Structure 1
């Protein structure tokens, strides 16, 4: 399975031991907390380095999701798409998407938390969720 990090070169894994310096993840736009692991990527096209949460660059580029079992969802950088699960939108962001069905899932809903909620439901509730969101 390919992960995002495999698409980059010159990626360095560091620990955020500098508690006075604020670092914001280029992928999710959330702050990287002190003592967390993160990747630094220096692209030729950018004069500045991009900082990413460790977990973000280790996300799979494709995934199967129980709310959309028809097709694989692909991780993509998209504009103005609303998550079909939580309904959150916000301009350009990374989302798992099915271009065939125009189905979009944000990183939070595409991750473990949503899968745990889904797996805790009865078979009837799962089917209702699939019909509602997929």
Structure 2
């Protein structure tokens, strides 16, 4: 299908792009540019469109990672040989797989004004 984009104006073009180009099911609009930049810094792809007061967030975050392995600096005699050396998401999912208890709580937050470091506190209560 050939389409002359010069003939399509304003919102018609946006509607076409949303329905035919951005066809991911998890795409969302973020109206806060500050939040959009924060999502970009956390690894989310962001689509900026000139003239719009929002950004598109496709929800396709991906990080390069390796398989879970024994940490080199921490040796154990007994028990699993896994360590928290991966991404925060991988580490928290490892905890959930190992501890099947309804009282396990994991609170995630961002610390640091400049670094915006994601941390998690895991506890049982």
* TM-score scaled by length of structure 2: 0.31
| Structure number with larger C-alpha Rg | 2
Larger relative contact order (Cα-Cα within 8 Å, sequence gap ≥ 6): 1
Query: Which structure has the highest strand share of the two?
Result: 1
